[in-house]
Chain A
Amino acid sequence: MTIKTIYLDNAATTAVAPEVIQEMLPYFETLWGNPSSLYAFGQQTRSALADARNRIATHLGTSDQNIYFTASGTEANNWAIKETMFAYQNKGRHFVTTAIEHHATSHSAAWLQKRGYEVTFLKVDKDGLVDPEEFRAALRPDTVLASIIYGNNEIGTVQPIKELAAIARENKVLLHTDAVQVVGHMPVDVEDLGVDFLSASGHKFNAPKGVGFLYIRKGIKTKGLLDGGAQERKRRAGTENVPYIMGMAKALDLSVANMHERTAHEMKLRDRLINRLLSEVEHCYLNGHRTQRLASNVNISFEFVEGESLLLMLEQRGILASSGSACASGSLDPSHVLLAIGLPHEIAHGSLRLTLSHETSIEDIDYTVRAIKEVVAQLRRMSPLYEDFMAGRKALSAVK
């Protein structure tokens, strides 16, 4: 018996759109010249690249000279954080970030700490929101940069970045936002947001893996991580990944053109999934903010069950999901994000992240609800924690 696969892990990666593949093919097959070459064969790819950069910049409300292509969102985050702290160390050595960042940011922060920089990790509330006043209070005369994730990859909470950027600017602190889960999924206007840096990753919006970009506000002096040739306005060396960049521009064109419909569809299904699970499964909780939330993100903790078992049993029913960040799988600690919003360890271990796409159907959602109900019931029958709870013995897991 073959089971239909229902892919609900779009925060991990997305399918490459067929139009994106078509867009890329000529740059493998015929237009494979080096954009730095002087002859026309190279100049053709140079102008294609310029066009891609220009389109991406337009979608983000900025000019093309502020968009720098990278190999990933991770590279963009590392660049913005490490190199900016280094470049402005005469001002100070203090960096501010949050407790719920992606590892690309939190591990860059740890890298800075090891080299004598000081890092403040802002707490978040139970919904995963940063308190703007706490942010203001954390900024000091020697604070160079703050980095705050725009839409959280695990719990989906969307931060008030515009408000936070205004506070940073009042205090003469630069603001970077990791917008990897946001670009291609929510309208983004970098000038209106007032951020100084913004990171994005192509494969989160139907472009291939291995390409991303960093927006850097004009006038900021930050060289990239790689030394070499004069590519990317001499800031990020290495021959441009032309096919993938062309694919990313096409993917963003498609996302922006259909954003309203896609988001409305995803939100409707997201809310159906959340509401059905919360009302039909006992002892489960939504993680992340109920409304200030990515359109595609559902993250729910089921008490008395463990996440890996939950995932494997869902996979047997054709449903592909994740428990916390995909990067956290294989590690034994529950997600730092779930702990930061105050979940006890045992409830964090029972978390399930389902991230939808514009291609998810209502039938997929209803099938998923049925499967989750079966699997959770099955795992609870096996759970000594549930047995204790039902017997009225003091359950070891705290009730939220």
Chain B
Amino acid sequence: MSYSEKVMEHFSNPRNMGEIENPSGVGTVGNAQCGDIMRVYLDINDGIVNDVKFKTFGCAAAVATSSMATELVKGKTIEEALKVTNAAVCDALDGLPQVKVHCSLLAEEAIHAALWDYAQKEGIAIEGLEPPKSDIHEEEEEEEAY
């Protein structure tokens, strides 16, 4: 298993890493058990993703896909951001090793979860957006069993 140069470059110098204060929407997906958690912050104005930041706990593939996915949605309309797919993120990174392809799923999910959070706060519906499947905050009660 080895990573493309692009993956290593984004892993070593991740773009848009950090937080946004008072974000328009935040989404956290993934599962610490599997070793990958991704959180995306969005700043949305007039239907445009003005700014995006991420934080990720995970392998190099998870960090690089977070970095690339945030690059791909930055400055885009909500509709365009919604269309950033796993495959697009993977392609932009010159591919991922087969065992790491599942990491790219998280990037798309995290962006969708953040958009969902934005839609909830604004009381609007975004066409084609499904509620997040694995938002971690929904699982907190179960996690207390530790």
Hey, which bits of chain A sit against chain B, CB under 8 A?
304-309, 312-313, 316, 329-330, 332, 334, 344-346, 349, 381-387, 394, 396-398
B125 at the interface (CB under 8 A from A): no
- Range, interface on chain B: 20 to 34
B49 at the interface (CB under 8 A from A): no
Question: Lowest 3 A-B CB distances belong to which pairs?
Answer: A346-B32, A398-B146, A308-B59
* Residues on the A chain within 8 Å of B39, using CB: 384, 387
Of the candidate stretches B9-17, B68-76, B79-87, the one touching chain A is: B9-17
A-B contact pairs, 28 of them (CB 8 A): A306-B57, A306-B58, A306-B59, A309-B11, A309-B58, A309-B59, A309-B63, A312-B60, A316-B12, A332-B99, A345-B32, A345-B34, A345-B35, A346-B33, A346-B57, A381-B17, A382-B14, A382-B56, A383-B57, A384-B38, A385-B32, A386-B57, A394-B143, A394-B144, A396-B140, A396-B143, A397-B32, A398-B146
Q: Which of B32, B33, B63 is close to A382, meaning CB atoms less than 8 Å apart?
A: B63
Find out whether the CB atom of B60 lies under 8 angstroms from the CB atom of A309. Answer: yes
* Residues on the A chain within 8 Å of B143, using CB: 394, 396
Find out whether the CB atom of A384 lies under 8 angstroms from the CB atom of B55. Answer: yes
Find out whether the CB atom of B35 lies under 8 angstroms from the CB atom of A304. Answer: no
- Cα of A383 to Cα of B17 in the assembled complex, Å: 10
Hey, which bits of chain B sit against chain A, CB under 8 A?
1, 8, 11-12, 14, 17, 19, 28, 32-39, 55-60, 62-63, 99, 136, 140, 143-144, 146
Find out whether the CB atom of A344 lies under 8 angstroms from the CB atom of B146. Answer: yes
Distance (whole angstroms) from the CB of B9 to the closest CB of chain A: 12
* Residues on the A chain within 8 Å of B140, using CB: 394, 396
- Cα of A394 to Cα of B136 in the assembled complex, Å: 12
Find out whether the CB atom of A306 lies under 8 angstroms from the CB atom of B35. Answer: yes
Find out whether the CB atom of B35 lies under 8 angstroms from the CB atom of A384. Answer: no
Distance (whole angstroms) from the CB of B8 to the closest CB of chain A: 8
- Cα of A36 to Cα of B63 in the assembled complex, Å: 57
